[in-house]
Homo-oligomer: A and B are copies of this chain.
Amino acid sequence: METIFSRFHLIIVQDPDLKGELKIPEGFNLNLYTKSDIDKVVGSSSNAISFSGYSCRYFGYLMSRKKYIISIDDDCIPAKNSNGEPIDAISQHIINLTTPATPFFFNTLYDPFCEGADFVRGYPFSLRSGVECGLSCGLWLNLADYDAPTESLKPDLKNSRYVDAVLTVPARTMLPVSGINISFNNELVGPALLPAFRLAKEGKVRWETVEDIWTGMCVKVVCDHLRLGVESGLPYVWRQERGNAVESLKKEWEGVKLMEDVVPFFQSVRLSESAVTAEDCVVEIASSVKEHLGPLNPTFAHSAETMVEWIKLWKRVRAN
């Protein structure tokens, strides 16, 4: 564990609902944030933003000044590739973020920038330089990231398929980003990684939230508008079992139902030419959420408000 973490700057955010003191080994380069830090930074400026539960990670995103941020859930350990060798997920994420993405035309041989690959016959030369990558979404072996209904129906369904590929998700195609194993370029898209979509009965296991799904679609819309890429595939992490899907079913249906409105919204939202930064884009998306989704469900109106507050907070923290 030390060999993995000691190379990097670590940010540890204690879930503000979690009592007690964290025991952290010596010798790491880290910042620890607790409820009192959150209160100090956010203060009375926002009632809408919540950093509890899964959302505590977003406080870390807010405070980091690093260019590349990598976030992997605590139920994950390093996986092995198909040759049985341990996967360095951090290195693969950095490769994904630092090599170009190709969102405007599909390359059938997957990532043309990976070793041993290239663009196939017919790929326009004018598109071969690619664009910068904003977000890299890794995958998971063993426990796959299913929702509670799927998990309940197929409790024995494990993901054992190692797909040796990274691909750019094409422009204007939405995907369900899972926050379990991601990295992003903080300078390009940082403000879009936000805690804004909170279910009334938000839970403490992964299938009781869809906040990361919402956030992922925000980032994708921002990347499409700013001509940046979103990559999906390698690296894999190994996920351990936890939680009880059947007990979660009641909570989860709310998220599942809301997706039926959320996805068409993000598929059709278009931003104006005056939106030239991720901050601008998020504010425009929030305004469109308020107008088009707000009347359907109070959760949406609350999300729109939270997104606007988040951008204010983001700017204020950086102005200090």
Contacts and interface: CB of A to CB of B under 8 A. Distances in A.
A91 B297 CA distance: 47
Nearest to A212: B122
B137 A256 contact: no
Contact of A116 (B106, B157, B232): B157
Given A108-B178, A173-B106, A232-B108, A144 B120 contact: yes
A98 interface: no
Nearest to A150: B118
A81 to B, nearest CB: 11
A98 B117 CA distance: 30
B121 A146 contact: yes
A320 interface: no
| Most B-side CB within 10 Å, residue of A106, A126, A255 | A106
A277 to B, nearest CB: 26
A116 B161 contact: yes
**Interface extent on A, as a size class?**
35 or more
A118 B146 contact: yes
A122 B163 contact: no
Contacts of A256: 125
A157 B121 contact: no
B172 A121 contact: no
Contacts of A157: 116, 118
| Most B-side CB within 10 Å, residue of A116, A139, A173 | A173
A176 interface: yes
Interface in A61-101: 82
B260 A109 contact: no
Interface string A116-152: 1111111111110000000001010000111100100
7 contacts: A106-B169, A108-B175, A109-B159, A110-B163, A119-B150, A121-B147, A123-B176
Given A117-B144, A122-B259, A161-B165, 10 more contacts: A108-B139, A108-B176, A109-B161, A114-B161, A116-B160, A119-B146, A120-B144, A121-B145, A122-B255, A124-B259
